[in-house]
Amino acid sequence: MATLGVNIDHVATIREARRTIEPDPVWAAAAAELGGADAITIHLREDRRHIQDRDLEVLRKTVQVKLNLELAMNPLMVDIACRVLPDQVTLVPENREEVTTEGGLDVVRHKSDLVATIGKLQDAGIVVSLFIDPEPEQIESAASLSVPAVELHTGAYANAEKNADEELQVLARAATFIHQAGLILNAGHGLTYRNVNPVAELEGMEELNIGHSIVARAVFVGMTEAVREMKELIGR
């Protein structure tokens, strides 16, 4: 059974639409925990379009489950993580114009910068995971960087209109390769109540990070119920 990290960024997106104080992602995290969230995930973006520094600081004090911070490989952001100390940092690529994280981190290309970034985070006692595309060379490179975990980008599978089965096979092959490399397997991006099951059932799946679909359902049924329903699905 995979654990569930609930990404609450889009609660902050609604707040920032009016630059006001509600809805508060801190409330969302508490409600998600009541629904059975195993982790709370937030992405502190360089442009601060949703989660703010204050959110990270308050959530660090209030979240009772694992706090997973998605972060770009930028020294200023890494300094913030080392000061606030989330339980886990997931390093992601970040492009200012993108609507959401578009692809995995190119671990092959950025390997030398990653060595320093990962070292700094690990010295602070933070568990590091790398958000990567399901490609053998990315997995190989991640394994050589002495991180314990990777998060597989499930976007191609989630967005596939006709060839979802093929994309699932790509994820399945990557999952096997990740186990062989001795890494913990996490996954996320674009997962919904309709498409999550086959990903949750991939062998050895440890943690799924899901945001938009849960927040979208929470608008109608409430956050606690939306999380409970997702937990039921991935526990099957």
User: At closest approach, how far in Å is the CB of 91 from ligand PXP?
Assistant: 9
Q: Which is nearer to ligand PXP, 15 or 189 (CB)?
A: 189
| H or E element that contains 40 | strand 39-43
Question: Which residue is associated with the tokens 């609450």?
Answer: 8
Catalytic residue among 10, 50, 153, 189: 189
CA atoms of 108 and 103, how far apart (whole Å) = 14
Which candidate in 10, 33, 50, 70 is catalytic? 70
Closest CB 89 distance from ligand PXP, rounded Å: 11
Helices (H), 85-183: 111-123, 136-143, 155-159, 164-180
Is position 189 annotated as part of the catalytic site?
A: yes
Residue 26 or residue 132: which is nearer to ligand PXP going by CB?
132
Nearest to ligand PXP of 7, 224 (CB atom): 7
In the complex, least distance from residue 174 CB atom to ligand PXP, rounded to whole angstroms: 15
Q: Could you tell me the smallest distance in angstroms from the CB atom of residue 25 to ligand PXP?
A: 13
* Binding site residues, ligand PXP, CB under 6 A: 7, 9, 43, 70, 90, 92, 100-101, 131, 151, 188-191, 209-213
Q: Distance between CA 66 and CA 89 in Å, rounded?
A: 11
Q: How far is the CB of 151 from ligand PXP (least distance, A)?
A: 5
Q: Which of 10, 33, 43, 151 is catalytic?
A: 43
Are the C-beta atoms of residues 92 and 70 closer than 8 Å to each other?
yes
CA distances from 125 to 43, 79, 82, 83, 165 (A): 19, 13, 9, 11, 39
Residue 147: alpha-carbon gap to chain centroid: 16
Q: Which is nearer to ligand PXP, 138 or 209 (CB)?
A: 209
For residue 44 the two structure tokens come to: 């502190």
Q: Quick one: 90 or 224, whose CB is closer to ligand PXP?
A: 90
CB atoms within 10 A of CB 203: 10
Identify whether 43 is a catalytic site residue. yes
Using a 10 angstrom Cβ sphere, with 0-12 exposed, 13-18 middle and 19 or more buried, the burial of residue 131 is: buried
- Catalytic site positions: 43, 70, 189
